[in-house]
Amino acid sequence: MNVRAHRSRQIALDRCLQLLEEAQVRGRVRIDGPLGASLRRHLERAGVIADHRLEGRRIDRVLDDIFALQAQLLGQDPEDSRHHNGS
């Protein structure tokens, strides 16, 4: 993967994290329709196809998934990324 594509994927995943964390700050526990659609767009930009619906999923679980994707992108063990979410 070239540097530009790698950076683009990182930015898209960072944006997903930002959206999820903002939703948590607003008191949301689960992903609603508009948030799910926005996350799906950013995940597609990151080259990830959501294999299931995001709507209704717990935000903390999706955060864990995004951290694991970032770890894979950085060549780290996905378990190393769990410290970001306090797990």
Average pLDDT along the chain, 87 residues, taken 10 residues at a time: 85 96 97 95 87 90 93 75 48
Please tell me the pTM assigned to this model. Answer: 0.81
Hey, how many other C-beta atoms are within 10 angstroms of the C-beta on 48?
Answer: 19
For residue 34, which amino acid is it? P
Residue ranges of the domains in the chain?
A: 3-80
Written as one letter, the residue type at 32 is D
Q: Collapsing DSSP states into helix, strand and coil, what is residue 58? A: strand
pLDDT at site 87: 45
- Residue 75, pLDDT score: 85
Output the pLDDT for position 5: 84
